Structure 1
Amino acid sequence: MQDSSWKSLSLQPSVAQLEQIFEFSSHLVFIYNWDLKKLIFVNNRVAEKLGYTPEDIQQMEGSILTFVEHPDKEGFLKEIHAEYESLEVGKKVEFVCKLLHKNGSIRTLRNRSMLLARDSPEASRLIMNVAEDITDTLEREADLLKKQYQFNEAEAIFKCGTWEWQANRKGIEWSEGIFKIMGLSSEEYKDKTISRRFYESFIAPEHVKRFADYTVQVLAEHRPSYEIEHRIINAEGMVKYVTLQGHIYYDEQGRVQRIMGMLADRTEIITYQNELERRLTALNKSNRNLEQFAYVASHDLQEPLRKIIAFGERLAKKYKEQLGSEGQFFVDRMTGAAQRMHALIEDLLAYSRASRQTESYASVNLNEVVKNVLEDLEVKIQEKKASITIDDLPAVEAQSVQMHQLFLNLIENALKFTKPGTTPKIAIQVRKIVPYEAPTVGRINPKENYFEFIISDNGIGFEAEYAERIFTIFQRLHGRAEYAGTGLGLAICRKIVEAHHGFIEAQGKPGEGAKFIFYLLVTQPNTP
């Protein structure tokens, strides 16, 4: 059939055929009798998308315009009516409106309306409106915009961006985050795509060769991932420390097909690390100077104190008669004060040593340590008639001198704070911490092995509110007249335990005794 004869054919479908065609359409079809202001036809898609059956529309007197949702509904309908009134054959009107679904939800329709040709001038004006339900599309677009916004916000917060390269595309696609790191506006780059050489032009000169060599090596070895730290000088002239990461996808022939990755700006982190390291170095230097000063000052104080004590004792013995009772009292007070000062200096020296590693770590048999401690305290134990029970103690990696000091202070503390008229009972218990207990203990590393030690007594105890205070330097819960001491013993214990990467705590009740619980590593970190 020739084109001319094809064009000469005139298709004049029947009303029934038109209805079948409209029912076949995936869009909503409305036909208005404009003269009567009434719908005369709707296809089944209207019921599917809006919930209104032909019977419902008939009850609405052939109109669903009453269900239009708009902030200025009256003005909106007047505008549409004006468009319809001036509509000519061959022209169309397009608009978007929201309609209330029968179930109460809101659906958004994109409409295209056209005036149908009339068979005669007397025939009614018919307007056909074809509508597409775009509600789900708009929701997806809004959701995508929301996710893109959240993604951009996340990139801004974490100072990073993503990139992608594909074999069938030209260039590397950057996310908004990378453009910000590079000090560039993404709007100036078509499809947010740049070349590899463009990025490499920002790399700091001293890192260019290392960057290029690493890239060649990764591809030559067909590595699945890519990661390199380097510096860049961005478009604003700012030096940035960045980490470039990527995951590489190869085809069956080993050719690179796709690389997806991330660029992270680590400038603030590196700056903070450098500043922390600088401050830590300064702090360590200051601490060493303070420790040296404390040690030297304390050591130099020992000699005059020893002389005061020695001459005081000689004075008391040789000139006892001449001094009289009052003079003897003054000499005793002077000698006692000097002895307390001597003890305080000794404890300060011990406290200073506890924060320094004066000897290397070695395997220490704690049974031997406690045996030596009990020999040192033999006189006090006999005076108090104390009963001491001890578990079989393990060997730990530690400094033996400090372990001796630790157990000496804790046992001596238990002997000191006894109840009058009561035989002191002291128990030293130990057990190994199993891994699943680590979370319940709290301050220990679940990846390390620990021993838990408990030194308990039946002494005077203390209020729970003082459980932390008693480890503070120079803190005393009782007067010197009641219980002698400098207030440094438990502070030294904490220093020693913490120097061995453990921790110590205390529990007690007034009149019921006290418990000192401490945790020591089986093996110290970074030791062979």
Structure 2
Amino acid sequence: MKLKILYGNSQIFKIALGIAILVIVYFASVFYKQMQNLESSVNVIANATETQLELERVLSTISIYETNLRSFIITNDSTYLEHRFLRKGEIELNFDRIKKLVVHNPSRTKDVDQLKKMIDFRFALFKETLLLAKSKNPDKSPLIAKLKESSDFTEGMKNYVYQTIDTESDKIKTHNDNHQFELQDSIISAFLLVLLSLLILLLSFNKMNVDISALQKANDELQYLNHSFNNAEKIAGFGHWKINLKTKKYFFSDNFFRLLGVQPNDFEPNIENFSKFIHPEDVDFVIKAHRDSLKNHNDTSVMFRYILPDGSIRYIWSVGSFTQNTSGDLIKTGVNYDVSNLYKKTLELEENNKKLQSINQELESFNNIVSHDLQEPLHKIQMFISRIEAKEMDLISDQGKVYFSKIKFSANKMQTLLIDLVNYSRALKGDKVFVKTDLNILLSQVLEDLSLNIADKEAVVTLENLPAIKVIPFQVEQLFINLISNALKYSKENIVPEISIFEEEIFANEIYENKIITNEEYCKIVVSDNGIGFPQEYANKIFHLFYRLDKDVKYSGTGLGLAICKRIVENHDGFIQVNSEPNIGSKFAIFIPRNI
């Protein structure tokens, strides 16, 4: 797990690699120092050994010299004296080599100088002994005394030399022990250095494999994304392009070429070749906008037309912006969208809007006609009905009175229908001027307007504390007029109508069109009654235009009242629901957003 974290975090791996390199450098420096010490030990041992050898040679030469002298004295044979000068020269060479070997050792240099003096003195004794040996003096006692002196001096000199040799031997032994220790230490250091190097090599190799695998995976994903993006370009109908402002090189995607009606890479990507596809009326301003953008580094958004090789015209929307690549070069990247279908639909939409405006004007004219032209003759009819009813009723036959009653009923029904049509057209027009309104005050006015109807039914209307929210006042007033009138109209006979209007808390299980309704977002106003009610299966149908659930003539109506209510609530971005049960009553719930 820790190794995965190390591999996964390049920063941690770099730190670990840096520490490992420092450790290697440390071990390498220690190993180098040990090699230097080892080389120094070898040189010291070799120097001491060679010094010891040269001293042995000096003693050997002195011994030979002394032996030859004694042989000459005994035999009086001069051949024993032939090489005495040559051997002295050898001793001089030995001393020259010894001095070079001990040149960096001051104490040993003093010993060598002392030995040189002793050698010189010994040769002086050799010379004196030789002269006494060659003399014809019969008295041999001086010669014997000189020989004894020479022998004693030689013995002392040998002791001095052997003492020096022993010192060099001890030195060799000490350095040899140190050499062995340093050799073992160097082997351990070399082993650790090689082991650590191999470990770093393995870790680096493993990391390289991980990176290569990750790179291969990223490359595969990039190829997949590139393939997906190319497919997305074809499906969505767009192509992308870019230009490096430093190198002046363009790049067009495959679908960029396809939007031009050619195959990918049919021509070299550049502005000159691309401009051949732009509509002659658009080419100048498109090229100018593009070049000004490259000069001022401003983003672009232009719409123009292509002329494809088959002569068809396509509408293109091109947007471009600037960014920098990893090298720091400024890059302009753009996307060209084929908006031909959208452009055509926009034209169709504009045409439909014009038609809709014309229909709205016709609807407004109709509203005016209903409000004035149709109601004026109806008012006259009702006026003459009132006059006949007041002055001429006694002159009319019984059958005529029946006909007259039907005329009066139809005229009143016509007036109610015209009023409802006017109200519905006003709701459709939806002049949305929202004003924060206290619903308590608004409903008090509504009840004042309906006071005669309420008194006629002897109804009890209860208002509870209602909120103040932003509404279209005259529409909400019409909404409550319709709902209260509806409750009065469909009340049960011989039972006092009870109508309650109050705000109800919205619970968590309130859902409308798969959306959860919350108390923070919506205000819920309830209008409930104890009227005749209706089956719940008709809860949605009663809000349809001209839909009347009860066809009984005693319940007059136009089928527009609840449709107007639904439209008014929708004008407030709300919705209306109803729960009802026959002979129990109905409960209308109005949901209006608290913040419009």
TM range (shorter): 0.5 to 0.7
The residue aligned with 1:277 is 350
The residue aligned with 1:114 is none
**Alignment of 1:402 onto 2:472:** no
Q: Aligned-pair distance for 1:367?
A: 1.5
Matches within 5 A, 1:183-222: 183-189=261-267, 194-200=269-275, 202-203=277-278, 204-218=283-297
**Take 1:342 and 1:415, find their aligned partners in 2: how far apart are those partners?**
20
**Identity in percent:** 33
Q: Give the conservation status (yes or no) of the 8 Å contact 1:409–1:489.
A: yes
Q: Give the conservation status (yes or no) of the 8 Å contact 2:297–2:322.
A: no
Aligned counterpart for 1:451 among listed residues 495, 512, 523: 523
Q: Give the conservation status (yes or no) of the 8 Å contact 1:364–1:395.
A: yes
Deviations 1:399-450 (A, max 9, x none): 322221111111111222223343333222336879x99975657999x954
**Take 1:288 and 1:438, find their aligned partners in 2: how far apart are those partners?**
40
Deviations 1:214-252 (A, max 9, x none): 343336xxxxxx552321424435444334345644369
**Take 2:483 and 2:410, find their aligned partners in 1: how far apart are those partners?**
25
Aligned residue pairs, count: 374
The residue aligned with 1:366 is 439
Q: Aligned-pair distance for 1:279?
A: 0.6
**Take 1:147 and 1:516, find their aligned partners in 2: how far apart are those partners?**
54
Aligned counterpart for 2:538 among listed residues 447, 453, 466: 466
Which protein shows a greater Rg? 2
Matches within 5 A, 1:11-410: 151-165=229-243, 171-189=249-267, 194-200=269-275, 202-203=277-278, 204-218=283-297, 226=299, 228-236=301-309, 237-245=311-319, 248-250=322-324, 255-256=329-330, 258-357=331-430, 360-410=433-483
From the superposition, tell whether residues 244 and 359 of structure 1 become closer, same or farther in structure 2 (CA, over 3 Å).
Answer: closer
**Take 1:252 and 1:175, find their aligned partners in 2: how far apart are those partners?**
20
**Alignment of 1:494 onto 2:566:** yes
The residue aligned with 1:56 is none
With 404-413 and 322-331 compared, the bigger mean Cα shift is at: 322-331
The residue aligned with 2:579 is 507
Q: Secondary structure at the match of 1:194?
A: coil
**Take 2:510 and 2:344, find their aligned partners in 1: how far apart are those partners?**
34
Q: Secondary structure at the match of 2:376?
A: helix
**Take 2:509 and 2:305, find their aligned partners in 1: how far apart are those partners?**
47
**Take 1:180 and 1:252, find their aligned partners in 2: how far apart are those partners?**
29
Q: Aligned-pair distance for 1:255?
A: 4.0
Q: Give the conservation status (yes or no) of the 8 Å contact 1:229–1:241.
A: no
From the superposition, tell whether residues 185 and 206 of structure 1 become closer, same or farther in structure 2 (CA, over 3 Å).
Answer: same
**Which amino acid is the alignment partner of residue 262 of structure 1?**
V
Q: Aligned-pair distance for 1:289?
A: 1.2
- Tell me the TM-score normalized by structure 2: 0.55
Q: Which of the pair is proportionally richer in strand?
A: 1
**Take 2:510 and 2:256, find their aligned partners in 1: how far apart are those partners?**
42
Q: Aligned-pair distance for 1:392?
A: 2.3
**Take 1:473 and 1:452, find their aligned partners in 2: how far apart are those partners?**
24
**Take 2:504 and 2:513, find their aligned partners in 1: how far apart are those partners?**
13
With 360-369 and 372-381 compared, the bigger mean Cα shift is at: 360-369
- Tell me the TM-score normalized by structure 1: 0.62
Q: Secondary structure at the match of 1:319?
A: helix
> Gapped runs of 5+ residues in structure 1?
1-138, 220-225
**Which amino acid is the alignment partner of residue 241 of structure 1?**
Y
Q: Secondary structure at the match of 2:429?
A: coil
The residue aligned with 1:54 is none
Q: Aligned-pair distance for 1:374?
A: 0.8
From the superposition, tell whether residues 318 and 212 of structure 1 become closer, same or farther in structure 2 (CA, over 3 Å).
Answer: same
**Take 1:301 and 1:160, find their aligned partners in 2: how far apart are those partners?**
57
From the superposition, tell whether residues 425 and 253 of structure 1 become closer, same or farther in structure 2 (CA, over 3 Å).
Answer: same
Q: Aligned-pair distance for 1:518?
A: 2.5
The residue aligned with 1:108 is none
Q: Give the conservation status (yes or no) of the 8 Å contact 1:295–1:352.
A: no
With 176-185 and 303-312 compared, the bigger mean Cα shift is at: 303-312
Q: Aligned-pair distance for 1:202?
A: 4.5
The residue aligned with 1:78 is none
Q: Give the conservation status (yes or no) of the 8 Å contact 1:227–1:243.
A: no
Q: Aligned-pair distance for 1:463?
A: 2.3
Q: Give the conservation status (yes or no) of the 8 Å contact 1:360–1:399.
A: yes
**Take 1:312 and 1:378, find their aligned partners in 2: how far apart are those partners?**
26
From the superposition, tell whether residues 245 and 485 of structure 1 become closer, same or farther in structure 2 (CA, over 3 Å).
Answer: same
**Which amino acid is the alignment partner of residue 374 of structure 1?**
L
Q: Give the conservation status (yes or no) of the 8 Å contact 2:533–2:586.
A: yes
Deviations 1:322-372 (A, max 9, x none): 323222111111111111111111111111222224584333322211001
Q: Give the conservation status (yes or no) of the 8 Å contact 1:505–1:517.
A: yes
Q: Give the conservation status (yes or no) of the 8 Å contact 1:160–1:177.
A: yes
Q: Give the conservation status (yes or no) of the 8 Å contact 1:316–1:328.
A: no
**Take 1:421 and 1:352, find their aligned partners in 2: how far apart are those partners?**
37
From the superposition, tell whether residues 304 and 232 of structure 1 become closer, same or farther in structure 2 (CA, over 3 Å).
Answer: closer
> Gapped runs of 5+ residues in structure 2?
1-216
Deviations 1:179-225 (A, max 9, x none): 11122222524xxx512444355453333333333343336xxxxxx
With 401-410 and 382-391 compared, the bigger mean Cα shift is at: 382-391
**Take 1:445 and 1:213, find their aligned partners in 2: how far apart are those partners?**
52
